[in-house]
């Protein structure tokens, strides 16, 4: 399910949440040599999840600080793809016993997200870095939703239990696990974007 939040409300909220998160975690980033950067919503980032993480991770580097008021640079981004692939398989269970069918079914997936970024010098309007495409991924396990024997188990002397309930969120159907994998994939992508930009040599902020 996707939630759309209007930009004027979410962008200041991103800044507040990021500042509180950095302070509560004990981070004291040296911003004496940092340059200001505005980060509008990444295109296709409908709920602002990736944009918020990029703001947070970039602020941690000490090379940039987020500002909408007269920033020197602007980071423009776009999510160009988000896909899932099967990377692990198991033999399908035939019944409640240990018998297996001669048939492989997927039980592990990988979410891969790619984003294109460009760092713009707002004084000249020219890019100082990019556009470049950066990607990151996260792996997840899931159960076969079409196989009753993968979804349940029978403890000795006890009624049948649901694997999904018993796992306390550690296992899910492919659809549910795929959705849950988006957040760690965004986190990994934001870290890579921040690490990449922290290595870019840009003119210092004029005080």
DSSP 66-124: E-SSS-SEEEEEEEEEEEEEEEEEEEEE-SSSS-EEEEEEEEEEEEEEEEEEEEEETTT
pLDDT beyond 50 at 161: yes
Going from N- to C-terminal start, the domains of the chain cover 7-198
Q: Give the residue-averaged pLDDT of 71-78.
A: 97
**Tens of pLDDT, residues 117-159:** 999 999 999 999 999 999 999 998 887 666 655 655 455 665 6
pLDDT at site 145: 60
Architecture in CATH for domain 7-198: 2-Layer Sandwich (3.30)
Both tokens of residue 11? 């962008």
- What is the Cα–Cα distance from 78 to 162, expressed in whole angstroms? 40
Q: What is the mean pLDDT of the chain?
A: 77
**Tens of pLDDT, residues 52-66:** 999 999 999 999 999
Question: How far is the first Cα of the chain from the last one, in angstroms, to the nearest whole number?
Answer: 45
Q: Which residue has the tokens 């010098």?
A: 121
pLDDT at site 132: 98
Of 89, 18, 3, 120, which Cα lies nearest the Cα of 59?
Answer: 18
The better pLDDT of the pair 174, 138 is held by 138
Are 91 and 55 contacting, i.e. CB atoms less than 8 angstroms apart?
no
């Amino acid at each position: 399910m996707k939630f759309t939040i209007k930009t004027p409300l979410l962008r200041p909220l991103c800044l507040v949440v990021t500042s509180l998160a950095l302070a509560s975690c004990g981070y004291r980033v040296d911003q004496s040599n940092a340059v200001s950067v505005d980060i509008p919503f990444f295109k296709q980032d409908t709920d602002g999840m990736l944009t918020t993480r990029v703001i947070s991770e970039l602020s941690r580097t000490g090379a940039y600080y987020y500002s909408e008021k007269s920033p020197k640079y602007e980071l423009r981004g776009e999510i160009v793809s988000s896909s899932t692939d099967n990377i692990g398989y198991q033999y399908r269970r035939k019944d409640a016993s240990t018998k297996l069918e001669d048939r492989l079914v997927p039980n592990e997936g990988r979410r891969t997200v790619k984003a294109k970024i460009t760092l713009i010098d707002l004084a000249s309007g020219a890019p100082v870095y990019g556009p470049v495409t950066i990607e990151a991924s996260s792996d997840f396990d899931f159960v076969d939703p079409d196989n009753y024997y993968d979804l349940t188990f029978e403890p000795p002397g006890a009624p049948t239990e649901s694997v999904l309930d018993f796992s306390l969120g550690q296992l899910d159907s492919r659809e549910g696990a795929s959705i849950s994998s988006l957040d760690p994939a965004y986190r990994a992508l934001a870290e890579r974007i921040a690490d990449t930009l922290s290595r870019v040599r840009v003119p210092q902020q004029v005080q």
